[in-house]
Amino acid sequence: MASLSSARGRARRGGGGGRGGTATSSARGGGRERQSVVQAMRAAGRGRGRRSPAFEVTSAAAPSAASLQQLLKQARSSGSLNLTSKGLEEVPGQVFNLLDGVDAADGEKFWEACELQRLDLSFNQITELPAAVSNLSVLVSLKLRKNRLSSVPPELFSLESLSLLDLTGNAIRELPEEGLGAAVALKGLLLSGNRLSRLPSSVGSLHGLETLELSDNTIRSLPESIDGLKRLATLTVSNNGLASLPESVGGLRSVKLLDFSRNGIETVPKNGLARLGALTSLDLRENKLTEVPPLPEGGRLAQVFLGFNLLTSLDGAALLGVSAGLTELHVQSNRIGQLPEEVGSLARLKTLDVSNNDLGELPAALGYLPHLHRLAVDGNPLRTIRRSLLSGGASSLKKYLRTRGPCPDYPGLEAADEDDDAAASSGGGGLSEDAVQAVSRSALETGTLDVEGRGMTSLPPGLFQDDRTLSAVTRAKLSGNKLQAFLAPPAIAPPGSLPLSISIRELDLSSNDLGEVPPAIFACRGLQTLVLAYNPLSDVSGLPWAALGSLETLDLSNNRLRCLGDVVLMTWLRRLNLENNDISPVPLELGLCTGLESLLLAGNPQRQISPSLLQRGTVATLAYLRDRLPPDHRPRTPITPPPAPKPFNDATAAGTGSSAHGSLGGGGAGGRGGGGSGGGGGGGEAAKRIALLTAEVEALREETEAPGLSQAKAYALKKKLQMKRAALIREERALKQAQQGGGR
């Protein structure tokens, strides 16, 4: 703890009128003028594609003297003071003289009080930060997001302990030229959403700075001194007025993320970016580039965003230079007429977006990229490729491209032979016998079943000849295939009795041919992450989502969904991705899912939520939906998830009266699943009923084992359990008879 006596001395000397130097009356008198400026900016915007800073005027009343004193007392104990959304127009003077408020009569002890280390004044209406802020000598974090500051005092940067300064969403026009480098401990400087037109050259003296955020300002150029930021890892200057980058940007040797999107950049220094050996993500979208700038080599650059520029070609040599690490390349909405053959060197590429260009053909080399699961080519005049292939997903398009030419001679590529392609197209699995054994061994040893990008319509039964493999798998990576079902169970093994349905925690079924959510998924009651992106799903209503009580992450992006059904009632979800569907409108009940940390809705035809609101984040979006529920709205009864499943054992399997054997994957014609397809027709409906009944049986069984049940309650539960088991047995028999009849 810093010396208390010296702190009190500084507090008494601290500037301005009164204790702590609160905002002056002239600053308060100018509030109306500033408010009119804010309103004018909201109405006029800030040019093409610009978002005006979000100066949110809170309706909260200023805290009472008693509540403020209570907060200050807590701060003296913890060192942290949170005054967010309090309707403040100025910083209370007591904040700068915190220790002077020690009240012995209230049980406080001066020697136990601590100085302020963290102060959050975000979401208020503060117009001025007084010079007395220099009293806060041990302050580590200061947040003033979304207030009405038009300037900051030089004294702010005299705080030698300050590590984080967040001034996002104010009206700051300039930073002090002198004294900026005195903030020797500053690591994060967040200035997005202000009115800065320039940065002082002294910013280069912040040698310890790691994060600098400058998006949504009007900055026209960066100072040459920026290369002084030797530890800078993140630099975002999106949505400004940059026309070029300084040569000194090449001195940012520690930078990992650069975001210069939505500017007017026409040129990049020849060797500016090429020297950034630590760079992993580069965003130059929505600029005026006519050629790809030289990129850093060495294998660390993973993401390159160059969409919405004026590019007419890609530099093959540049692609070779980044081939060791590049996983995402976005060049959509340019004027590219041809892809170079060197694109085949990108062996680690997972996503390639070349949509809305002038491509007349695609190089065969793309078909041999082993990890490429997302290939966006729509909006090009491709004349040699059938429309059905273009709409059939990356797997079918890659298979076609392999017929157009041999595998390039680049390391890391996989030349699929004709036998494997034939096996994949017929549903045989696309894996040789040796490969099946290798995958099975790996799944048993690591707990991860990885068969991504094989183009299979079903998984080879040989993968699960050893029951231990099923019970060992906690992650299943099945993306980039042609699966139409998952866990297609024969009648003798309803999905709830499979060891895999108990053990699995992460399931990735993205980029397949799923026309509906496979019913067997709802028996996987321990599932925490479910990815169903890039499938032709159009409806997820009428499904037993309550069975997935452990689910935290649900990705339904890039489908054809119009209705969400009971998904909006899954209040326990933490992450929900609904991007690029056909959702319109967004259900207002989604606003009641207050546990969501991430909600993604971009790319839907809905009009009720503006893009600017979506960019403000999940909390703001949920609040918007919630506020538009009618006052007399009576929400549907939230679905209640069943208890978390217990680890699989023989008794669990015996509890349903079924064998612990089953098949994974395809089903349907040509499949080797050994059971119903689960993908449609009567068998699909029966599988749904079996999945739901199995989940209900398991939940009831666990309820009967709960301690403290009364005799009457236990009797009622056991009776209900017997009824559900009987219904389950009837469904199993009916499905078995239907399968046997169809096999004759």
Lowest mean pLDDT among 37-51, 67-81, 383-397, 629-643: 37-51
Position 340 pLDDT exceeds 80: yes
What pLDDT digit, counting tens, does each position of 254-297 carry?
Answer: 999 999 999 999 999 888 899 999 999 999 999 999 999 999 98
Position 530 pLDDT exceeds 80: yes
Mean pLDDT of 438-443: 80
Q: So what's the pLDDT on residue 503?
A: 74
Question: Quick one: how far is CA 368 from the chain centroid?
Answer: 29
Torsion angles phi and psi, residue 598, rounded to 5: -145, 120
Of 681 and 674, the structure prediction assigns the larger pLDDT to 681
CATH 3.80.10.10 fits 74-241, yes or no: yes
How would residue 465 be classed by pLDDT, with cut points 50, 70 and 90? low
Please name every residue paired with 374 in a beta bridge, in sequence order, or none if there are none: 351
Please name every residue paired with 330 in a beta bridge, in sequence order, or none if there are none: 305, 353
Please name every residue paired with 283 in a beta bridge, in sequence order, or none if there are none: 259, 305
Name the range with the highest mean pLDDT among 154-163, 461-470, 669-678. 154-163
Q: So what's the pLDDT on residue 105?
A: 63
Q: So what's the pLDDT on residue 464?
A: 65
Q: So what's the pLDDT on residue 16?
A: 38
Lowest mean pLDDT among 15-24, 76-85, 331-340: 15-24
Torsion angles phi and psi, residue 375, rounded to 5: -130, 105
Distance CA 451, CA 439 (A): 8
Position 437 pLDDT exceeds 70: yes
Q: So what's the pLDDT on residue 446?
A: 83
How would residue 466 be classed by pLDDT, with cut points 50, 70 and 90? low
Q: So what's the pLDDT on residue 486?
A: 64
**% the chain with pLDDT above 70:** 75
Q: Which CATH superfamily is domain 429-487+499-628 in?
A: Ribonuclease Inhibitor (3.80.10.10)
Position 128 pLDDT exceeds 80: yes
Q: So what's the pLDDT on residue 742?
A: 54
Position 73 pLDDT exceeds 90: no
Mean pLDDT of 692-717: 72
The residue extents of the domains of the chain are 74-241, 257-415, 429-487+499-628, 687-741
Mean pLDDT of 302-306: 96
How would residue 111 be classed by pLDDT, with cut points 50, 70 and 90? confident
Q: So what's the pLDDT on residue 669?
A: 32
What pLDDT digit, counting tens, does each position of 630-661 carry?
Answer: 877 655 555 555 555 444 343 333 333 333 33
Mean pLDDT of the chain: 78
Mean pLDDT of 376-384: 87
Q: So what's the pLDDT on residue 44?
A: 37
Mean pLDDT of 327-331: 96
What pLDDT digit, counting tens, does each position of 351-377 carry?
Answer: 999 999 999 999 999 999 999 999 999
pTM summary value: 0.54
Buried b (16+ CB within 10 A) or exposed e, 45-65: ebeeeebbbbbbeeeeebbee
Distance CA 545, CA 513 (A): 21
How would residue 496 be classed by pLDDT, with cut points 50, 70 and 90? very low
Confirm if 41 and 51 have CB atoms less than 8 A apart.
no
Lowest mean pLDDT among 59-68, 142-151, 393-402, 414-423: 414-423
Confirm if 710 and 668 have CB atoms less than 8 A apart.
no
Of 288 and 396, the structure prediction assigns the larger pLDDT to 288
Mean pLDDT of 402-408: 85
The CATH number of 257-415 is which of 3.80.10.10, 3.20.20.10, 1.25.40.20, 3.40.50.300?
Answer: 3.80.10.10
Buried b (16+ CB within 10 A) or exposed e, 528-556: bbbbbbbbebebbeebbbbbbbbbbbbbb
Confirm if 557 and 576 have CB atoms less than 8 A apart.
no
How would residue 697 be classed by pLDDT, with cut points 50, 70 and 90? confident
Cis peptide before 585 (omega within 30 of 0): yes
Of 302 and 640, the structure prediction assigns the larger pLDDT to 302
Q: So what's the pLDDT on residue 219?
A: 96
Q: So what's the pLDDT on residue 487?
A: 54
What pLDDT digit, counting tens, does each position of 583-626 carry?
Answer: 988 998 898 888 899 999 988 888 889 888 888 899 989 988 88
What pLDDT digit, counting tens, does each position of 201-222 carry?
Answer: 999 999 999 999 999 999 999 9
Position 490 pLDDT exceeds 70: no
Mean pLDDT of 524-551: 88
Distance CA 77, CA 303 (A): 45
Position 342 pLDDT exceeds 70: yes
Q: So what's the pLDDT on residue 492?
A: 29
257-415 and 429-487+499-628, same CATH topology: yes
Confirm if 205 and 230 have CB atoms less than 8 A apart.
no
Position 103 pLDDT exceeds 90: no
How would residue 415 be classed by pLDDT, with cut points 50, 70 and 90? low
Torsion angles phi and psi, residue 206, rounded to 5: -85, 70
Distance CA 93, CA 131 (A): 11
Confirm if 94 and 20 have CB atoms less than 8 A apart.
yes
Q: So what's the pLDDT on residue 731?
A: 78
Q: What single string gives the DSSP state of each residue in 614-662?
A: HHT-HHHHHHHHHHTS-TT--PPPPP-PPPPPPPP-HHHHHHTT--S--
